[in-house]
Amino acid sequence: MYPELFKIPFIDLSLPSYGLMMVVGFLAAVFVMRRLSRDITSNPQFITNASLYALIAGVVGARLFYVVHYFDKFRANLLSVFAVWHGGLELLGGALLAVAVILFYLWRHKLPVRRYLDIAAIGLMLALGFGRIGCFLKGDCFGRPTKLPWGVRFP
C-alpha cells in the first residue's frame, strides 16, 4: 500500500495517492463525458460546468451529511465543520446534493436531462474505478486474507 506517493522535503508536504487518483478519475470522467456529448450539444462547456458544480456540491453534501450524522463531534467547536482535510465525508450526502445540482443545472439551461444523465453515468463509473484504485493504494477496502478450504493462505 502507498498512502503517500512522495514527500517534498523541507516543507513536509506529501502527495496522497487517494487524492491523486480522485483527481485523475474526475479529469478522465470529464474528458470522456465531453467526447460522448458531441451529438447532444455543440458546446461541451455545459458538461464541464455541470461536472464542476457536481464536484463542489458533492463535497459540500458529503460533509454536511457527515456533520449531521456525527454532530456530537462538532458541538464543542463549530468551526471544525469546515476542516474537510481532517476527514469526514459520507458518500450518500455527496451523491444526493450532486444529483440535485445537476438536475437544476440541466433544467435551468433547458438541456436534455435523460441524455446527459446517461452520459454522466458512464463518466461516474470511470471516476469510481479510479477512486477504488486510490482507496486500495491508501490501504482501505482490501479485505482480510483469504483462507482456502485446504489450508493454503494468500499472503
pLDDT tens digits, one per residue of 72-124: 888 888 888 888 877 788 889 999 999 999 999 999 999 889 999 999 999 99
**Predicted pLDDT of residue 103:** 96
Residues 6+ apart with CB under 8 A from 95: 58, 61
**Coil vs helix vs strand at 33:** helix
Residue 2 C-alpha cell reads as 502507498
**For residue 129, pLDDT beyond 60:** yes
Q: Is the model's pLDDT at 15 over the cut of 70?
A: yes
**Per-residue pLDDT reduced to its tens digit, 32-78:** 999 999 888 888 899 999 999 999 999 999 999 999 998 988 888 88
Is residue 148's pLDDT more than 70?
no
Mean pLDDT along residues 21-37: 94
pLDDT score for 105 = 95
Give the C-alpha separation, 29 to 73, whole Å: 34
Query: What pTM was estimated for this model as a whole?
Result: 0.78
pLDDT at 4: 84
Distance CA 148, CA 33 (A): 42
- Residue 150, pLDDT above cutoff 90: no
- Confidence category of residue 147, pLDDT binned at 50, 70, 90: low
Half-sphere exposure of residue 153: CA atoms within 13 angstroms, side-chain side: 3
Cell numbers at residue 3, please? 498512502
Number of Cβ atoms within 10 Å of the Cβ of 63:
20
3-state secondary structure of 1: coil
pLDDT of residue 106: 93
Q: What is the mean pLDDT of residues 124-142?
A: 86
Q: What is the pLDDT of residue 151?
A: 61
